[in-house]
Amino acid sequence: MNPRALGAWAVSGVTIALATGNPVYRVLVLLCALNVLIALRRPGVSIRGLVVALLVATAIAVATTTLASHTGDHAFLMLPSGIPVIGGRLTLEAALFGLATGIGIAAAVLAAAPLSLVLEPHALVDALPPALARTGAAIGTALNLIPGIARSATEIRDAQRMRGWRPRRVREWPDLAVPVVLTALEGSITLAEAMEARGYGSGMRTHYAEEAWHRADVAVAAVAVVAAMLFVALRISGVVSDWYPFPDVSAPPVSIAGVACCLALAAPLVAWRR
């Protein structure tokens, strides 16, 4: 799997998800992205946390819109008007608009998620164009520091415990936090020194593992990019209609061409089957 092809697919998915407020297309993007994640994620990577976070975000979007927007014909609850901001009619239209917004956010996030859950961090960094290679290497190094800090925290905690440290009050936690921060800073300086000594920043970088483009990669990237461009064109021309539930909720309009563009995002499931 070429990281740049996956990058093109992710950008296409995010573009379609954000180009329309129509929940039907957004749901289709969401389903395609979710299936790609499930099928292609790195071994041992769990997406449960991400899914829970998106469900929470969607619930917040629904709650916020429902409580703050009081327009729409179908009221299902009346809060006392004396309550600031949320007081008044709570409508089905506002709740559905919040739901569509939440689905849009979830679809966009899930479309971008394979960049971190399918690819190794350094594979993405390597895929950056040469002009960004130094920045990419710095980002890759920073990503690598995170597990190092976690290990260091464990090491320091163990060492302190062996010396009798038993934190009982919050004010004793600096005994752990301060050395972890200091060690992280010192580790960063040492790493910077090692990078400098290994020629980092001396000129144009090359990549050890330059991912080749295979037919499947070209197919995924081409299908996704064409689908996104077509979707945007259809949206501008009005063939793909937006959806707005106010003042009276109605079923979202659906175009076959729009649905086809969204379903094209399932291409990785066919091309990159493992």
Partner 1 sequence: MTVASLRGFTYRYPNASRAALDDVDLDVDDGITVVAGASGSGKSSLLRVFNGLVPHFHGGTVSGFAEVCGRDVITTPTRTLAAQVGFVFQDPELQAVYPTVERDAAFGLENIGTPPTLMLRRVGEALERAGIAHLRSRAVATLSGGERQRLAIAGVLAMNPRLLVLDEPLSQLDDEGAAALVTTLVDLAHQGTAVVVAEHRFEKLGMVQGRRIAVDGGRAVSVEASSGIPAAARPLRPSAHPRPTGPVAWRVDGLATGPLRTPVLEGVTLEGRTGEVVALVGPNGGGKTTLLRTLAGLLTPISGTVERAPGRVAFLPQNPMALLHRASVAAEIAWTVRRDPAAGDATDLMAELGLANLAQRDPRDLSTGERQRAAIAAVLAGSPQIALLDEPTRGMDDGARDALCRVVLRMRAAGCSIVLATHDINLARSVADRIVSVGAGAASELVAVGVA
**What is the C-alpha to C-alpha distance for residues 133 and 204, in angstroms, rounded to an integer?**
8
**What is the C-alpha to C-alpha distance for residues 70 and 189, in angstroms, rounded to an integer?**
55
Q: Which 69-128 residues touch partner 1, going by CB under 8 A?
A: 120-122
| Residue 140 touches partner 1, criterion: CB under 8 A | yes
| Residue 194 touches partner 1, criterion: CB under 8 A | yes
Size of the site for partner 1 (CB under 8 A): 47
State both tokens at 138. Answer: 């710095």
Q: Using CB under 8 A, which of 200, 232, 246, 255 touches partner 1? A: 200
Question: Please, are residues 22 and 242 in contact by the beta-carbon 8 Å criterion?
Answer: yes
Q: Within 10 A of 224 (CB to CB), how many other CB atoms are there?
A: 29
Strand partners, 91: 75
Q: Using CB under 8 A, which of 116, 183, 241, 255 touches partner 1? A: 183
Alpha helices in 20-162 (DSSP H): 23-40, 48-68, 92-112, 114-117, 121-126, 133-162
| Residue 199 touches partner 1, criterion: CB under 8 A | yes
Question: Toward partner 1, which CB reaches closer, 46 or 202?
Answer: 202
Write down the least CB distance from residue 175 to partner 1, Å: 8
Phi and psi at 211, nearest 5°, equal -70, 125
| Residue 42 touches partner 1, criterion: CB under 8 A | no
| Residue 214 touches partner 1, criterion: CB under 8 A | no
| Residue 155 touches partner 1, criterion: CB under 8 A | yes
| Residue 151 touches partner 1, criterion: CB under 8 A | yes
Helix (H, G, I), strand (E, B) or coil at 86: coil
Residues that bind partner 1 (CB under 8 A): 120-122, 137, 140-141, 144, 147-148, 151-152, 155-156, 158-159, 161-165, 178-179, 182-183, 186-187, 190-210
